[in-house]
């Protein structure tokens, strides 16, 4: 079936150590892993390539390209796409098939650009090899056609004079050209905007999902081999105006992360990125996502907000951001003493400077007169007791076992980022519900393969890959892909105190109740161990109140709904 090497393109993606080698068969359109037992086909939703003579409307071999007209919307992109770059090239890999009498003879199959202006994306015709195969481990029974928007791809014109800086100037869009914009080597590269985004939540297991999906032969994650670390784009939360949308996109987002190189592009069809803080962006920023990626799909992982907060707190502790005010400093007011504080990620400098910043923060936030010697850095892992103090300190600003936790200007994002419902509501003002997939982290932990299957088959509608062969259970009971670098390298922390857990769940109760509009109550109740007075019976709201006010905020990007001065992003998460 995989007949000749001339029609097959070897695509090496997958595992860092290149354990998986994928072959993309240009004849039958399947991706196969030839390191697995024999030459095993792992993707059975073969593209109808038996009738695919790799013809194109424009040219052969990609030497000639066609510029396509934008058909509407996306004004911010139009200015430079039409003048500086050409839209999707006509080489077969980035094209799709269209059959019928649309401009061609009846029944004729022809290649059309996969993208024609940012709005109309024709579905890629697919033959589902095993249509009944929902139960089959190897084939996705759903995609006919793929449900996923193929995204927007561009090829930068191969003009030596094309430099991003000058293109930016030419289009007259403000002053936001970045220092790294003048790189003519990007000419000719094909770059794609993401077809889908993993928007949150931080500490919801997003890195794991990103890694798994990044192994899929049809998917290319932002950052890929080019970006180290977590590979979070933070594009939409950094863009602060529509004018900057253009320049920043080009220079920082697309160029760095979503370029397809020549080897990959034949097989990789979709790109995606994850930035877990996106979910908490303000409406203006979400509206920008909508303008740039109108048909993007969105994946949101929700973890029990109490567990998420603890994980976030420990993460901050690991990053040396958690400090404690001395208990013994008699000159400090009682409500400050012993306080555990999680500082903004923007806290910079070596020990002394950091300490001074912390003291400035404490004095400003609590109208105190602390001195440098009054604060002490806590080391990872922070204790459950430290977390408990941290949580209880949110109780009206005082250490008070009985007081309800309230939102104050100094409240930490560690807590705020567990308030999911309002954030979801904001996204759904701009995106259709069908574009958003909400998953529970705990369900993922219980069955990773099923979660990935839901994402691929039910939501994205792309074929399954053979993950099962490469999955193993790690020491924490998570299903991981072999050879993948696990993020669980840091020492794990102990369980949180039961009383902290209960306080937190009471605090989140109202928000959780609102979540039932988006997630099956049954699933939440199954996994999140709600307190007895649970949200299902509608019993008693909690005492949480949101207060507006100015917080300590030295890094307000203006794109978040809750800029209260703690870390608002985490490139190095």
Ligand X SMILES: Nc1ncnc2c1ncn2[C@@H]1O[C@H](COP(=O)(O)OS(=O)(=O)O)[C@@H](OP(=O)(O)O)[C@H]1O
Which residues are identified as catalytic?
203
* Dihedral over Cα of 168, 169, 175, 180: its sign: positive
Question: Binding mask 385-424 vs ligand X (x if CB under 6 A, - otherwise)?
Answer: ----------------------------------------
Comparing CB distances to ligand X, the nearer of 317 and 365 is 317
Of the candidate residues 205, 418, 551, 565, the single one contacting ligand X (CB under 6 A)? 205
Whether cis (ω within 30° of 0) applies to the bond prior to 214 is no
CA pair distance 18, 5, nearest whole angstrom: 20
Which residues, including other chains, have CB under 8 Å from residue 98's CB and lie 6 or more apart? 104, 109, 110, 111, 112, 122
CA pair distance 144, 160, nearest whole angstrom: 42
Residue among 245, 244, 243, 237 nearest 274 (CA): 237
Helices (H) then strands (E): counts for the chain: 15, 20
Residue 499's Cα: distance from chain center in Å? 32
Comparing CB distances to ligand X, the nearer of 130 and 227 is 227
Q: Residue 471 CB, nearest distance to ligand X (Å)?
A: 10
Of the candidate residues 41, 206, 329, 345, the single one contacting ligand X (CB under 6 A)? 206
Of the candidate residues 211, 230, 408, 435, the single one contacting ligand X (CB under 6 A)? 230
* Dihedral over Cα of 419, 422, 426, 427: its sign: positive
Q: Does residue 473 interact with ligand X by CB under 6 A?
A: no
303 annotated binding-site participant: yes
CA pair distance 300, 553, nearest whole angstrom: 27
Comparing CB distances to ligand X, the nearer of 242 and 386 is 386
Q: Does residue 211 interact with ligand X by CB under 6 A?
A: no
Residues 424-453 that bind ligand X (CB under 6 A): 441, 444-445, 448
CA pair distance 355, 349, nearest whole angstrom: 9
Q: Residue 478 CB, nearest distance to ligand X (Å)?
A: 4
CA pair distance 544, 94, nearest whole angstrom: 51
Of the candidate residues 208, 453, 509, 511, the single one contacting ligand X (CB under 6 A)? 208
Comparing CB distances to ligand X, the nearer of 447 and 556 is 447
Q: What is the dihedral of CA 214, 216, 218, 223, to 10 degrees?
A: 10
Comparing CB distances to ligand X, the nearer of 139 and 306 is 306
Of the candidate residues 31, 133, 192, 207, the single one contacting ligand X (CB under 6 A)? 207
Number of residues in contact with ligand X, rule: CB under 6 A?
A: 19
CA pair distance 80, 97, nearest whole angstrom: 27
Comparing CB distances to ligand X, the nearer of 111 and 309 is 309
Of the candidate residues 203, 220, 321, 416, the single one contacting ligand X (CB under 6 A)? 203
**Cβ pair 138, 464 in contact under 8 A:** yes
Q: Residue 333 CB, nearest distance to ligand X (Å)?
A: 33
CA pair distance 572, 83, nearest whole angstrom: 36
Q: Residue 510 CB, nearest distance to ligand X (Å)?
A: 24
Q: Does residue 204 interact with ligand X by CB under 6 A?
A: yes
Q: Does residue 318 interact with ligand X by CB under 6 A?
A: no
Q: Residue 430 CB, nearest distance to ligand X (Å)?
A: 23
As given in the structure block, the two tokens for residue 99 are 């059959």
Of the candidate residues 276, 344, 551, 565, the single one contacting ligand X (CB under 6 A)? 276
Of the candidate residues 171, 295, 311, 345, the single one contacting ligand X (CB under 6 A)? 311
Residues in the chain: 573
Residue among 42, 437, 439 nearest 215 (CA): 42
Of the ranges 203-211, 258-266, 378-386, 387-395, which one interacts with ligand X (CB under 6 A)? 203-211
Helix (H, G, I), strand (E, B) or coil at 99: strand
Helix runs in 228-304, H state only: 242-248, 255-257, 283-292
**Cβ pair 210, 312 in contact under 8 A:** no
Q: Residue 188 CB, nearest distance to ligand X (Å)?
A: 33
**Cβ pair 358, 323 in contact under 8 A:** yes
Q: Does residue 300 interact with ligand X by CB under 6 A?
A: no
Q: Residue 139 CB, nearest distance to ligand X (Å)?
A: 24
**CA distance to 23, 78, 90, 331, 450, per residue, from 268 (Å):** 12, 25, 15, 63, 23
Of the candidate residues 482, 488, 536, 545, the single one contacting ligand X (CB under 6 A)? 488
Q: Does residue 384 interact with ligand X by CB under 6 A?
A: no
**To which H or E segment does residue 508 belong?**
helix 498-515
CA pair distance 361, 343, nearest whole angstrom: 8
402 annotated binding-site participant: no
Of the candidate residues 94, 190, 202, 233, the single one contacting ligand X (CB under 6 A)? 202
Comparing CB distances to ligand X, the nearer of 183 and 488 is 488
Comparing CB distances to ligand X, the nearer of 114 and 203 is 203
Comparing CB distances to ligand X, the nearer of 287 and 443 is 443
Q: Does residue 167 interact with ligand X by CB under 6 A?
A: no
State the DSSP string of 226-238. T--TT-----TTT
CA pair distance 254, 164, nearest whole angstrom: 12
CA pair distance 117, 319, nearest whole angstrom: 43
Annotated binding site: 303, 311
Annotated binding site for 3'-phosphoadenylyl sulfate: 303, 311
Interface residues with ligand X (CB under 6 A) are 202-208, 230, 276, 311, 314, 441, 444-445, 448, 478-479, 488, 573
């Amino acid at each position: 079936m995989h007949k000749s090497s001339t029609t097959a393109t070897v695509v090496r993606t997958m595992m860092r150590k290149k354990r998986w080698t994928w072959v993309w068969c240009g004849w039958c359109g399947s991706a196969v892993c030839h390191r697995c037992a024999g030459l095993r086909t792992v993707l059975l939703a073969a593209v109808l390539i038996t009738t695919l003579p790799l013809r194109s409307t424009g040219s052969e071999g990609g030497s000639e390209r066609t510029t396509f007209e934008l058909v509407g919307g996306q004004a911010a992109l139009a200015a430079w796409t039409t003048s500086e770059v050409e839209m999707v090239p006509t080489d077969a890999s980035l094209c799709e098939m269209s059959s019928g009498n649309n401009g061609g003879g009846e029944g004729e199959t022809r290649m059309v650009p996969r993208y024609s202006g940012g709005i109309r994306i024709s579905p890629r015709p697919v033959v589902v090899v095993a249509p009944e195969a929902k139960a089959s481990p190897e084939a996705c029974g759903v995609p006919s056609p793929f449900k996923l928007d193929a995204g927007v791809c561009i090829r930068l014109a191969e003009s030596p004079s094309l430099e991003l800086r000058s293109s930016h100037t030419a289009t007259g869009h403000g002053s936001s050209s970045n220092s790294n914009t003048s790189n003519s080597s990007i000419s000719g590269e094909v770059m794609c905007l993401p077809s889908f985004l993993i928007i949150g939540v931080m500490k919801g297991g997003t890195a794991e999902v990103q890694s798994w999906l990044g192994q899929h032969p049809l998917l290319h994650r932002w950052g890929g081999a080019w970006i180290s670390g977590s590979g979070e784009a933070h594009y939409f939360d950094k863009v602060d105006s529509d004018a900057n949308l253009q320049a920043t996109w080009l220079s920082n987002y697309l160029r760095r992360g979503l370029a397809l190189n020549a080897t990959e592009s034949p097989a990789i069809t979709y790109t995606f990125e994850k930035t877990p803080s996106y979910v908490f962006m303000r409406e203006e920023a979400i509206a920008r996502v909508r303008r740039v990626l109108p048909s993007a799909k969105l994946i949101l992982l929700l973890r029990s907000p109490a567990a998420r907060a603890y994980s976030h707190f420990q993460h901050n502790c690991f990053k040396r951001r958690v400090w404690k005010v001395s208990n013994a400093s008699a000159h400090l007011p009682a409500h400050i003493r012993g306080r555990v504080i999680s500082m903004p990620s923007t806290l910079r400098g070596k020990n002394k400077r950091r300490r001074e910043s912390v003291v400035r923060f404490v004095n400003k936030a609590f109208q105190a007169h602390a001195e440098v010697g009054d604060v002490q850095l806590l080391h990872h892992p922070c204790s459950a007791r430290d977390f408990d103090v941290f949580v209880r300190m949110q109780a009206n600003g005082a250490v008070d076992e009985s007081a309800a936790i309230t939102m104050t200007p100094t409240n930490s994002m560690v807590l705020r980022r567990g308030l999911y419902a309002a954030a979801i509501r904001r996204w759904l003002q701009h995106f259709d519900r069908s574009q958003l997939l909400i998953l529970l982290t705990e369900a993922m932990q219980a069955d990773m393969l099923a979660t990935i299957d839901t994402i691929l088959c039910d939501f994205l509608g792309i074929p399954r890959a053979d993950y099962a062969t490469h999955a193993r259970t790690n020491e924490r009971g998570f299903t991981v892909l072999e050879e993948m670098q696990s993020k669980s390298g840091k020492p794990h922390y102990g369980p949180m105190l039961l009383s902290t857990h209960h306080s937190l769940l009471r605090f989140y109760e109202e928000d959780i109740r609102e979540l039932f509009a988006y997630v099956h109550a049954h699933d939440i109740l199954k996994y999140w161990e709600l307190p007895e007075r649970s949200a299902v019976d509608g019993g008693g709201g909690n005492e949480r109140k949101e207060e507006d006010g100015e917080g300590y905020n030295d890094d307000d990007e203006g794109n978040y709904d809750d800029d209260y001065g703690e870390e608002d992003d985490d490139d190095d998460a």
